[in-house]
Chains A and B, each alone.
Chain A
Amino acid sequence: MLPLDLASAGALLNNLVFMLIGLAFGAALEQSGFGDSRNLAAQFYLKDMRVLKTMFGAILTACLLLFLSAALGWLDFSKIFVNQTYLWPGIVGGLVMGVGFVIGGYCPGTSLVSAASFKGDGAMFVAGTVVGAGIFGEMADEIGAFWNGSYTERLLLSDVFGWSIGATVVAVTLLALVFFFAAEKVEEWMAGDGPRWKPTNRRYLGAGALALVVALFIWGKGMPSPEEKWEIAGGELQPLLDQREVFIHPLEYVKTWNDPAVRLVTLDLRDSTAFAAFHLDAARSVTYPGLLDKELVFELDQLPPQGVVVLVSEDEAMAVSAWKRLKMQGVSNLYILDQGLKGWSALFAPLQEAHHGFDLSRPPSRVLEAFPEGTWQAKIKLKTARRAGGLCS
């Protein structure tokens, strides 16, 4: 299942692949005419809408290919890096870049291609971007509060509008088609020589219709459910369960809970009666169907790298199903309480008397000392390798 895991393939191959992708990227930009600043600047005087057409053409193509693959179960979208949303730095930075764009005539990627094809202005622009990045670097620590503010880890347009991914893809497709049509009309109008694109009209209409059909198919098919995804991709995760790598001992739970550096989220999967009778102090009650709740998954996805999610049930069976369900929705640092609450009571109840009757729902960290070393093995490894950090980091 895509995406491939290149990290395990070694640095040499990894770097080679990045270089090849760069080659294709640079060539595509150059062939599209973006090595010449006049072609880019014309966009802002409405004379040649090349920038908008190519940009939205690329976004639409990649978007349809990505979500088509995801809908067919070929690609796990939860593993794809999505640029974090830093709302205000993005808006202000974007406005500043727009100014730099119209003065300098390039953006960073296109200026590289321009410099590569011996354009003096492109080379000067590249030099400028290095200087600009340097100026920002000197200021970054001072404006850190603003720069790191208004942040959401993985915020999709579909989350903002409350639509399904498929419906959002259809909306993006329609928006792109409207932009293309408007671009053609604007060029026609600016040139003032009547309809220009009639001869190729049919081909354009056909391509637009194809894009729309694909988008509607993605919407109709929908994204695969976590269970369907487990059928396809669960094989590579099964060893984690078989070798009990994700089951944490009650003592590790107590230790983690008392660790101020870790943000612990405990989800209790038992029914509400059992939950009311007894539950771990930090636990929240969730139902198994509730694990599909968008808001819950969104919240778990936003956890910081030192966030840990622990699933608790009476024994283990329910927690294991829940683990699969959440794992397939992209939740990382996800663990199961070893032997469930049965094991919990069996371990701690006998200790209660010796330790002045502590509350079973929140054993103090001193109970750790009552067990010889080696009673349990630490399983929690904090990692966020689920998504490769973007190239802009």
Chain B
Amino acid sequence: MRARAFLNPYVGGVILGVVLFASFAITHSGLGASGAISRLQAGVMEVVAPGHVDRTGYLAAMGGGTRMALNHSSMFMLAGTFLGGLASAFLAGRLKPEVCRGPQVGKGRRLLLALLGGTIMGFGARLARGCTSGQALSGGAVLSAGSWVFMFAVFAGAYALAWFVRRLWN
């Protein structure tokens, strides 16, 4: 089956914006992914090293004592996002095992770089208290000053490095 074309980016933006508005109107808050990811991490630590979770203030706030890090509505949004991506890719005929990479990068190298980039991103997202969806999209729409500054910082960081790693993507 041939994969269907992606949405016009503006149409995609309007649809995403309507989803974001619905999220605010129904739940008081916007979209997010990284909060749930750090809960996932705290959840893993709860199983592996429960004592450590209780002693580390940051982790204890999510999963200390009788608290369950994974028992949070953001985890359901995370699961939904995953399933939504899965269903959408399936319906569009894009569901196939693949490693997306630039023309000059081998598969193994690309996977390692994805892991490295993800690690940096995961760290930064906690430092900034949110990711592109939780801070930039949600905070941007409600005119949060911090979110707008954050958004431009992300673009600045990426553009500043882009030239140096151009071989990865071109």
Contact = CB atoms under 8 A, between A and B. Distances in A.
Interface of A: 2-4, 6, 14-33, 35-39, 41-45, 49-50, 53-63, 65-66, 69, 75, 77, 79-87, 89-122, 124-138, 140-141, 144, 147, 152, 154-160, 165, 168-169, 172, 180, 204, 207, 387-393
How many of chain B's residues touch chain A, expressed as a range? Answer: 35 or more
Contact of B17 (A39, A49, A65): A65
Interface in B138-163: 138-162
Contact of A25 (B26, B125, B133, B150): B133
Contact of A62 (B44, B78, B100, B141): B141
A390 B141 CA distance: 14
Contact of B146 (A37, A83, A207, A391): A83
Interface class of chain A by DSSP: helix
Contacts of B58: 136-137, 140-141
A28 B15 contact: yes
A83 B147 CA distance: 7
Interface in B71-126: 73-74, 76-89, 92, 94-102, 107, 110-126
B81 A106 contact: no
A22 B114 contact: no
Nearest to A36: B100
Given A44-B162, A99-B161, A22 B146 contact: no
A112 B124 contact: no
A103 B77 contact: no
Given A65-B21, A108-B34, A138-B56, A128 B129 contact: no
A27 to B, nearest CB: 4
B100 A6 contact: no
Interface string B9-22: 11011111111111
Given A18-B76, A94-B151, A104 B121 contact: yes
B149 to A, nearest CB: 6
B165 A102 contact: yes
A108 B25 contact: no
B131 A19 contact: no
Contact of A30 (B18, B85, B99, B155): B85
Contacts of A101: 117, 121, 154, 157-158
Interface in B1-43: 6-7, 9-10, 12-38, 40-42
Which of B30, B40, B42 has the most C-beta atoms of chain A within 10 angstroms of its own C-beta?
A: B30
Contacts of B22: 21, 24
Given A25-B84, A390-B32, A108 B99 contact: no
Given A19-B80, A44-B159, A140-B58, A6 B27 contact: yes
Contacts of B148: 157
B128 to A, nearest CB: 3
B145 A156 contact: yes
A276 B6 CA distance: 69
A62 B132 contact: no
B80 A26 contact: yes
Given A45-B166, A130-B37, 11 more contacts: A19-B77, A22-B78, A30-B84, A61-B18, A65-B17, A97-B125, A102-B157, A127-B115, A140-B126, A155-B146, A392-B131
A131 B80 contact: no
A346 B150 CA distance: 55
Contact of B122 (A35, A112, A133): A133
13 contacts: A18-B27, A23-B87, A25-B80, A33-B7, A43-B158, A69-B25, A81-B29, A102-B161, A109-B34, A116-B84, A120-B107, A125-B121, A390-B29
B27 A17 contact: yes
A212 to B, nearest CB: 15
